[in-house]
Structure 1
């Protein structure tokens, strides 16, 4: 048997159901180990067969992040699991969208945003990163994220807190991927304070990758002539 191929859906679900019942530090340690193992199986390099097998975990993962307190450190590991399973895989992205995953991630972002703390800042970046993995190069998922008002929510988060350049890039890449999905979301950038907010970041940042990301957002909104 090819060692790169993980076990079938039933065995994986059984294993994860047991982990869901573990609480406290032990659960956090287990999630850390499991998500790293899954990441190796599905994305090192990308293995679509293993991603398809692990796709059966998505409903369980969504149930976990919606039933646990937002401060539960295990949520980060489950978000990493979701990201690994859907990354660059349109079929899995569609399945997550169809089972309400984008709505749940959007709710989690808004819930975390209402609790202003350093931990919250880090948590939201994790959730947005998972959301981005779910919508990248998938127009249908990007449109749904846009309809859930994620551009405005993310930009408000950018404005409300101080962020490291790497985190800003993560947040703004998600915005860019939503903008890629449909031109109707351009108004989220060209109207209101978002444009000036991004111009300020563009002129004050010394980070080349962040600079490129913001320029790309402007190009998607066809406002390059205003720079």
Structure 2
């Protein structure tokens, strides 16, 4: 404790000095930006340091800095990023920022057409932090229009759309992935059925994206699948909407295509696992949807994926879960047939030492 007190005093002194720098260097954007980055470094993953900064009035000042019309755009970006960092590691700070005024400001910034791409991305990051694991944040995102704006951004910033060129592709991809994460925070953890109901409107667009992707990549497929999984989780109506949009069929056909190359391509195997997890979320507790997948020979393709040498051990359980869901919905005879053929494969997936154990027993 005696050692902690000098350290705490030293940290408080450093934060106080940096705050003064922010206040009295208004004509020096570089100094302000550097001060904010240093505050980030001191407070990142340190809840106690955020408390010290908040007690000094730092959180309020940084927020006011972020909404000031006279500061340099890069200072604005750094201020927004700092607020996100502070809120992410300190629940009290997050709760203090969950106010209608702040969410209204965020929605106002995001609808500006001339907002710089980086500033838009850090604004989305701040919004993500405020809604993640936070029911009140989710509600404020809905009532202030932030959720609707996120949905619009999700559609319009898709990296593979014709509007995007190679020069801005990387930055746009980062923005779009951040938007997807923020939407996931709005609809789940905790589950928010009203937000899920609103977000099903994106399913027809997602179906089109999945059909257009000729060479899938993790950076594109993972955000799409995360959004689908979070939007349908524990929600029968959302699952039905995804099925009705044609999304479930499209996702299944993409999985079939990827599993055919899963034994020779590590990327195809990884992407197949991502889709398998998403399909599991779509058909859990819904035997009618699960049984409909039998027409695509999905069980055969899942067994093919399970036998792939590229499949990571930690992903085998997910594939087995899919097989169980599909076979249970398809009828006992189908389940028994595949169980007889691939019982050793299943046991080997659960316990990699199964074949050697059998040999020892013999």
| Matching residue of 2:267 | 119
| Matching residue of 2:321 | 173
| Matching residue of 2:297 | 149
Shift in Å, 1:4: 1.5
Shift in Å, 1:9: 8.3
C-alpha distance 32-17 of structure 1, shift in aligned 2 (>3 A): closer
Farther-moved stretch of structure 1 (69-78 vs 5-14): 5-14
Structure of larger gyration radius: 2
Greater relative CO (CA pairs within 8 A, separation 6+): 1
C-alpha distance 31-129 of structure 1, shift in aligned 2 (>3 A): farther
Matching residue within 205, 214, 223 for 1:69 = 214
Give the structure-2-normalised TM-score.
Answer: 0.52
The question of 1:110 aligning with 2:256 is answered yes
SS of alignment partner, residue 157 of structure 2: helix
| Matching residue of 2:279 | 131
C-alpha distance 203-68 of structure 1, shift in aligned 2 (>3 A): closer
Shift in Å, 1:202: 4.0
| Matching residue of 1:164 | 312
C-alpha distance 127-27 of structure 1, shift in aligned 2 (>3 A): farther
| Matching residue of 1:44 | 189
Contiguous gaps of at least 5 residues in structure 2: 1-99, 101-135, 355-362
Shift in Å, 1:10: 6.3
In the TM superposition, what whole-angstrom CA distance separates every residue of 1:182-221 from its partner, at most 9, and x where no partner exists? 4244145234x32232133345359xxxxxxxxxxxxxxx
| Matching residue of 1:196 | 344
The question of 1:35 aligning with 2:180 is answered yes
C-alpha distance 47-188 of structure 1, shift in aligned 2 (>3 A): farther
| Matching residue of 1:79 | 225
| Matching residue of 1:223 | none
Counterpart CA distance in 1 for 2:286 and 2:192 is: 19
Shift in Å, 1:67: 0.6
C-alpha distance 204-155 of structure 1, shift in aligned 2 (>3 A): same
In the TM superposition, what whole-angstrom CA distance separates every residue of 1:39-95 from its partner, at most 9, and x where no partner exists? 111111111111111111111111112112333331221111111111111101111
Matching residue within 112, 117, 138 for 1:4 = 138
Counterpart CA distance in 2 for 1:172 and 1:117 is: 20
* Equivalenced residues, count: 205
| Matching residue of 1:16 | 154
RMSD: 2.4
Counterpart CA distance in 2 for 1:160 and 1:99 is: 31
Counterpart CA distance in 2 for 1:76 and 1:166 is: 17
Asked if 1 retains the 8 angstrom alpha-carbon contact of 2:306 and 2:316, the reply is yes
Contiguous gaps of at least 5 residues in structure 1: 207-227
Following TM superposition, the consecutive aligned residue runs of length 4 or more in structure 1 with deviations greater than 6 angstroms are none
Give the structure-1-normalised TM-score.
Answer: 0.79
Shift in Å, 1:11: 4.7
SS of alignment partner, residue 174 of structure 1: helix
In the TM superposition, what whole-angstrom CA distance separates every residue of 1:118-153 from its partner, at most 9, and x where no partner exists? 111111110111111110111111111233221111
